[in-house]
Amino acid sequence: MSLLQVTDLTFCYEGSFDNIFENVSFNVDTDWKLGFIGRNGKGKTTFLNLLLGKYEYNGSIVTDRHFDYFPYVISERDRDLTVIELCDRWKNGVEEWRTVSEVTSLKADPEILYRPVGTLSHGELTKAMLAVLFSGENEFLLIDEPTNHLDMTGRKAVGDYLAKKKGFILVSHDRVLLDKVCDHMLVLNRSSIEVISGNFSVWQENKERKDAFAKAENEKHIREIGKLKASADRAKRWADKNESTKIGFDPIKEPERNISTRSYIGAKTKKMQSRVKNFEKRIDRQIAEKEGLLNDIENVEELKLAPLIHHKKTLVQGRDLSISYEGPGEESKKEVIKGLTFQAEQGDILFLNGENGCGKSSLIKAILSSAGYEDEEKSAAAGEKGREETDRGEQSRMEISGVLTTASGLKISYVSQNTSFLKGTLKDFAKERGLDYSRFLTLLRKLDMSRLQFEKNMEDYSEGQKKKVLIAASLIQPAHLYIWDEPLNYIDVFSRIQIEKLIEMYRPTMILVEHDEYFRNKLATGILDL
């Protein structure tokens, strides 16, 4: 058995006043399949980088294993090289036959290893990188969100593959994947770090039980403190009243009193004051016991939404709809959707389902175009280039045939899968979009973004924090239809639960592309297979 021992780890970024980690200690077995979860911005990727030795820190990290990290970095000039050509740079000394064997285990064609990485889809590139990652020996592997942008088939293949492996830390917010793959969990709580045996569902069940106990204990202590304070106040008033009678008296009204009575009253007052001090000590003891009880409780605050009601029942309708792309090369025209018929009515929560490249994002773009949606992220659209189409290196013009109609006056709130256009301050972003800045910040706080983040430029945010900016902006825009394209990529588990509860409560009309199986199964009123 080999251990990873973390002792008194303390770290903060240069120029920051807050420690990301402070005197953190724990041990994990390097044969475990360790799930790693926590709020966005809590330090998951930072911890992986500390293991890789990228930053200086206080404390110690000790193990006899080597670390390797997924995903590997690909520069622009690497896009013309094959995975096999990049292998030695990614993992020195890797044997080609092992990589071929691993990629076969991932149910992928080994030929993807011999194609330029710039031509690979997200799913193909993920599988190729994982194949290289697991081709070494005596390593503890650090896997950072491997299923982002993968379709359901790709997620299943990655989950099946990792379930047969061991010796890794898996950062993921996909609850189905964590349950399928992990045998232990490493959890960044609000004020502590814990390691538990079991998968995500085991941790969640234990967490709910512990939180319920902590809340009950907290209520008990609050009641006890209230009683003690009332008793202390009563005893203090008695003592003060008694003390006030010690000096001066009316011999006519109180003939039984004399000067010697003063010492008796003083002794009685001293006894009452002693009782007050005892009450105060008991109050302090109860407060000390109460302290820290709620520090690790995740208060998943309720979000609010005010969807608009349209006068028409059917908001979007397609009949015999086809979408194709006109582009360069021998195959100048590529059809991604053919003969599609569907409709979205008020109250529908319609999930678009299908493999990467089947036309999900293309259909969303067509609906936005039909509704005359003013794309506030024109630069995003240019940078996004249509996820499915650019997966194959294509940049082409979209053509639509058949019938696609949207209700007149339809207001749409859109969340793009791309976040690269987010730059500058939150205040400028809110002003450009006509958002109420105070409400916008309040919603971000409810999504657990700290006030410290509000002072930063958005380009310095983590991917999860950028997604929260887009979701918060969408939620405060009154709309008849909410169209979200892969909204949960990089979003932490607790925020996913908040968003689930929001949609369950308000039942807005939605069209979504989202590969989180748990999220989809819980909310979908319909699934449109492409």
Weakest-pLDDT range from 26-35, 97-106, 268-277, 470-479: 268-277
pLDDT in tens, 184-211: 999 988 667 889 999 999 988 888 888 7
Residue range 3-208 in CATH 3.30.590.20: no
Q: Are 472 and 447 in contact (CB under 8 A)?
A: yes
* Bond before 71 cis per omega within 30 degrees: yes
| SS3 at position 317 | strand
Distance, CA of 64 to CA of 134 (rounded, Å) = 18
The whole-angstrom separation of Cα 50 and Cα 53 is: 5
Bigger pLDDT: 287 or 277?
277
Q: Is the pLDDT of residue 267 over 80?
A: no
Orientation angle between helical segments 122-133 and 96-105, nearest 10 degrees: 130
Closest CA to 84 of 102, 67, 66: 102
Top-confidence range, 201-210, 291-300, 390-399: 201-210
The mean pLDDT of 389-414, rounded to a whole number, is 76
Concatenating the DSSP letter of every residue in 32-44 gives SEEEEEE-TTSSH
Tokens matching residue 515? 């590969």
pTM: 0.70
Q: Which helix (H) or strand (E) holds 315?
A: strand 314-326
pLDDT digits (tens, 9 = 90+) for 128-184: 999 999 998 889 999 999 988 788 888 899 999 999 999 999 999 888 999 999 999
Residue range 214-225: mean pLDDT, rounded: 76
- State the pLDDT at residue 379: 39
**Residue 283 above 80 pLDDT?**
no
What is the pLDDT of the chain when averaged over all its residues? 83
Residue owning tokens 């941790």: 203
Structure tokens at 393: 């290196």
CATH superfamily placement of domain 314-529: P-loop containing nucleotide triphosphate hydrolases (3.40.50.300)
Question: Taking each helix axis from N to C terminus, what angle separates 122-133 and 152-163, rounded to the nearest 10 degrees?
Answer: 10
In this structure, what token pair is assigned to residue 277?
């001090």
In degrees, to the nearest 5, what angle opens at C-alpha 329 toward C-alphas 326 and 331? 65
Tens-digit pLDDT profile for residues 245-262? 655 555 555 566 555 566
Antiparallel, parallel or unpaired: β 510-513 and 481-485 = parallel
Whole-number Cα distances in Å, 483 to 345, 391, 514, 530: 13, 22, 11, 17
CA max distance for the chain = 121
Range of weakest confidence among 72-81, 234-243, 291-300, 337-346: 291-300
Mean pLDDT across the stretch 208-236? 76
Look at residue 288 in the predicted model and tell me its pLDDT. Answer: 65
